[in-house]
Amino acid sequence: MIKNLFFMLLFSLSLAASAQQKTVTGTVTTATGMPLPGVSVVVKGTTTGTQTDFDGNYSISVESGQTLAFTYVGFKKSEITVGGQNQINATLEEDTEALDEVVVVGYGVQRKRDLTASISQVKGEDISNLVTPSFDQQLAGRAAGVQVTTQSGIIGETPRFRIRGIASITSGTYPLFVVDGVPIYTGDVGGYASTNALGDINPADIESIEILKDGSATAIYGSRAANGVVLITTKKGKEGRIATNYNLTTGFARPVNKFDLLGAADFVTISNEKRSNRGQSDWAAGTDFNTDWQDLVLNDNAFQQDHNLSFTGGTEFLKYYLSIGYTEQESIAKPNEFKRFTYRANLEQKIQDWVSVGVNAGLTQSEYFGLNTGTNSLSGNIFNATRQHPNVSPYDSNDPTGYNLDDTFPDRMGRGSNLETVGDNIPNIIFAIENNKYFSKINRLIGNVYADIKPVSSVNFRTQVSIDKANTNGFLFWSPIHGDGNGSNGRVQSNNNELTRWNWQNILSYNETFADAHNVSLTAVSEYQKERNQNFFATGTDLSNEFFGKALISGSYGVQGSGGGLTENGFISFAGRFNYNYKQRYYLQGTLRRDGLSSLPTTTRWGTFPGASFGWTVSNEEFLKNNDVVSDLKIRGSYGKVGNVSIGNYPYLGLYSPARYADNNGIAYSQFGNNNLRWETSIKYDAGLDLGLFQNRFTLTADYFINKTEDLILQVETPQSFGIPGNNYNANIGNIENSGLEFSATARLLDKEFKWEVSGNISFVDNEVITLVNGADRIGTNTIVREGEPINSIYGIRYYGTNPQNGNPVYYKADGTLVQGLLPGGSYAIFDPNNPSDVSQSSSLSAADDRVILGQSLPKYFGGFNSNMNYKNFDLGFLFRFSGGNKIFNATRRDLLNQNFTNNSTEILGRWQSVDNPGDGWTPRLYASTNTTTNLTALATSRFLEDGDFIKLDNITLGYTFPSEVVEKIGLSRFRLYLQGQNLWIITDYSGLDPEMESAGVDLNGTPRSSIFSFGLNVGF
């Protein structure tokens, strides 16, 4: 009996077990019956889950009584309790609210259709697969009003980033960058190789980038927003089974262009003609070698690789996004290189229905290997390589070093078969590149911890503590044998920069709808920030042996030095924002922020920054509702007042600094104080129009803006007798204005089996300096800042051409008369085109009196055109960028016409040789060692002034995604292969390497930018 009962019990338990665990299958469709692939099907309260296949089918093991949760982007979540059935079909309804695109704004989010401010958005997926050391470089051409310029091919150089023009003359012009609510450091963060702080953010981790442009959008950031604000949101976890994604990109880079230099034979001819025209003996001899020095310092096959692995998923209570990444990029400039390891963990835990906590943390280790890129440095890679003699070799097996070094002057390049030593005293650049070291290593944490408390559905309180901590170690070594270190018998340097920024935010928000018509949103913010930046460096020269060039080692150097610094500052802020709309027709937004900055005096450190905007969605009016043509039409306007805190540390204080008097340490007066100093202020106005046609198949956004910057901090000169350090002090005096038009448009041209969507933007920006100190010009070597003109206009002498009778260079004086430079130089004579041989009437050419504005250095327009096509499983996308209306002073071109014993560009072949052979009419006769007169090297001239207009194919991508039914057979959810190219093609009349390689309108000896060809794959599990 007992035995029978035992077997009956076992049989019952097995039946219960089989009843509890079973396989359920089914199909997930839309309300119209279309199957939905990729729907997440999860057993609620567990991590058990799956996804629907290409036909919307799924299969999952589940127990009776458990609940299946079906989720899909753009659709409402559906939950079905499992009963006795083995097949469960689910129908998902579209979530109209979820389909509304959400845009991140300061301290919150808004639906895009509710915006009354000017904000541009770039999706992370648009740039995540591009080969780039920093994501900011890839924003160029993707947003109206935003101009990003990569001015060099050196990895680590920070791109120039402008939003609606230049808002300052002497203070910072870089936007505020905020990552997941954390205001972060930007620019160079230390070391001896160039570093870019934004290179510490993995592009693959970015969900979206919002660029806040007008006063209404930026006013919530108050004193930090004069140059615009860029908000970066990283990826977050989503409820559903774990999704694993791996992305690989690998390829190579090469210089986009090189200088057209003389070969050995032409070099010998030109060099000796320089001397013979001066009645002197030859410089050059021999053509056994024909060395391409650009090939030696540049890399035609610079290896690139990028790996990213991410995990995302979660339950109703815990959501997570985890990623690791590795990037290695060789620059086209030897030995420049970049390596980066990234780790990210974004977690959110729901503790109760009304409270959740989370953390967003990114940890990065970046290494930069650099070189000397000085544009006027003897060992600068391009300055040096373009001057080297092509008829000599960089190596010499008879020299103990193995390098070709001059026997008489060992600090200079070897002369080979030439009769004189190289001009400009340049060293052997190959020795410098292969032996000297420039290094920077950054360990950085950007993260926050937060708590969200939602006591009722309409109220949310968020408190967040964040940190941006960057620690940079740098090392430099100059060999004592040759090059930069020769004069000091070697040099080693080590430094450490530690940057720490703490930030605490408390955000209280309220959202409610009354009577189904009145939508009200309130946001209150308190924010506290403190940063502490300190640095230390140590140097050693007169090395005992180059063996000690790997670190700063005690006792290995004869002369030592050290130094460092420490700065601290902080601010306290209170802000509020009010949003109201009536039936999504009439919108009103008001913002007010109060900032207190420790870097300013107590009487002026507090500032108030208001902002306001309005909008009228005309398309929601009864007379336009259900219109077949106009699906969206909004008119909006905004105003805002913001500030610029990038004014240095405590510029108002009278300061004393450490100083030495003979061999004694002491202190000295170093800065004259101004207790009335305050921050620079920008007042921004914007009027905009948003238009959508044919169910938003075509969209257009247009904006007109005016940005007025007041109270610019400029230096006021003082008499020397006052004894003020530098004979100047800082005061709020200047004014500058930027105004312009922006247009951006999108169009879904085809949306059947072949899909084609295009988008484009164009911006027109005018810049004008309104007020300077006493109306006085601020004159630089090649540029000028003058009232009534754009900032940094090219300022120099107008060039006429060459005198056909004698080959002298001819210039215009300010009054329009012509003068010719008399070689070998130092004097001028009047030039009469009707009597060119007459040089008897003396004249002059004055830097003070004869310079004029030659053109503006700022582009008048810029933009981009983007296209994305899909056919079945193939996709093709490309981006063109364009810019124009600006002038560039091509100082590199002038350098390459050097009259010393150095190499030249092929342009010099067009020189004047005789009355019967006058050349191109633009290049003077050669005359050794006469750069000051022949090329007017001390000033800018229109001889080397060129248009900066261009059109570029910035990137192109061709991809193929394997069908779901194929990849699922091998256990994958996604498999895509792609080929892409970046910076491939340019249309321009500019004779230099790249019209974007300018700084303040001057192009001088920059490293070429690179073209990149890559292959990639994306695998989902």
* DSSP assignments along 938-1003, one per residue: TSEEGGGEEE--EEEEEEEEEEEE--HHHHGGGT-SEEEEEEEEEEEEEE----SS-TT--BTTEE
Give the domains, in start order, of the chain with CATH numbers: 2-96 (2.60.40.1120)
Q: What is the DSSP string of 266-301?
A: HHHHHHHHHHHTTT--------S----HHHHHB-TT
Q: Give me the pLDDT at residue 11, please.
A: 40
Radius of gyration of the chain (CA): 33
**The dihedral sign for the CA sequence 201, 1000, 983, 162:** positive
Structure tokens at 974: 């996604």
Residue type, 538: A
C-alpha 30: how far from chain center: 42
Q: How many of the other CB atoms lie within 10 Å of CB of 105?
A: 22
Over the stretch 103-121, which tens digit does the pLDDT of each residue have?
A: 899 999 998 889 999 999 9
One-letter amino acid of 78: S
Nearest to 386 by CA among 271, 492, 261, 298: 261
> pLDDT-derived band of residue 586, with 50, 70 and 90 as boundaries?
very high
Does position 9 have pLDDT exceeding 80, yes or no? no
Cα–Cα distance, 391 to 415 (Å, whole number)? 9
Tens digits of residue pLDDT in 632-691: 999 999 999 999 988 888 888 888 888 877 778 888 888 888 888 888 999 999 999 999
In contact, 537 and 564? CB cutoff 8 Å: yes
Q: How confident is the model over 453-470, as a mean pLDDT?
A: 95
Q: In the numeric block, which tokens belong to residue 1019?
A: 């695998």
Pairing of strands 793-797, 940-941: parallel
Query: With 60 as the cut, is the pLDDT of residue 896 above it?
Result: yes
pLDDT average, residue stretch 198-225: 95
Whole-angstrom distance, CA of residue 258 vs CA of residue 297: 11
Decide if 201 contacts 124 (C-beta within 8 A): no
Cβ atoms < 10 Å from Cβ of 1004:
21
Query: What DSSP letter does each residue of 347-384 carry, written as one string?
Result: EEEEEETTEEEEEEEEEEEEEEEE----TT-TT-HHHH
Do 543 and 549 contact (CB within 8 A), yes or no?
yes
- Distance CA(172)–CA(568), nearest Å, equals 18
The per-residue pLDDT for 481 is 94
Other beta carbons less than 10 A from residue 811's beta carbon:
26
Q: Is residue 293 over pLDDT 60?
A: yes
Q: Is 4's pLDDT higher than 80? A: no
Examine the pLDDT at 771 and tell me if it is beyond 90: yes
Buried b (16+ CB within 10 A) or exposed e, 430-455: bbbbebbbbbbbbebbbbbebebbbe
Q: What is the mean pLDDT of the chain?
A: 92
Asked if pLDDT for residue 146 goes beyond 90, the answer is yes
Q: CA 524 to CA 505: how far, in whole Å?
A: 10
Q: Hey, what amino acid is at 674? A: N
Query: Is 18 within 8 Å of 940 (Cβ atoms)?
Result: no
pLDDT tens column, 716-725: 888 888 888 8
pLDDT at 548: 87
* 898, 255 contact by CB (below 8 A): no
DSSP type of residue 316: S
Residue 254 has pLDDT above 80, yes or no: yes
Cβ proximity of 899 and 928 under 8 Å: yes
pLDDT computed for residue 269 by the predictor: 97
Write out pLDDT tens, residues 822-839: 988 889 999 999 999 999
Measure the CA–CA gap between 8 and 1018, rounded to whole angstroms: 54
Q: How high is the pLDDT of residue 948?
A: 96
The widest CA-to-CA distance across the chain, in whole angstroms, is 138
Predicted confidence (pLDDT) per residue in 27-80, tens digit: 998 877 777 877 888 888 787 888 787 678 888 989 888 899 888 876 788 899
Residue 2 confidence (pLDDT) above 80? no
Residue 2 falls in which region: left (phi positive, over 0), alpha (psi -120 to 50) or beta: alpha
Q: What band does 97 get if pLDDT is binned at 50, 70 and 90?
A: low
CA dist., res. 533 & res. 321, Å (int): 31
- pLDDT score recorded for residue 19: 45
Quickly state the pLDDT bin for 595 (edges 50, 70, 90). very high
Pair 669, 636: CB distance under 8 Å: no
Other beta carbons within 10 Å of 137: 22
Task: Tell me the two tokens of residue 744.
Answer: 């951006």
Taking residues 523-545, report their average pLDDT: 95
pTM of the predicted model, to two decimals?
Answer: 0.90
Give the residue among 900, 916, 933, 920 at the shortest CA–CA distance from 808.
933
How many C-beta atoms surround the C-beta of residue 397 within 10 A? 8
- Per-residue pLDDT averaged across 131-148, rounded? 93
Which of 569, 547, 286 lies closest to 416, judged by CA? Answer: 286
Is 489:549 a contact under the CB 8 Å cutoff? no
Please, is 661 exposed, middle or buried when counting C-beta atoms within 10 Å of its C-beta (0-12, 13-18, 19+)?
Answer: exposed
Say how far residue 938 (Cα) sits from the centre of its chain.
Answer: 32
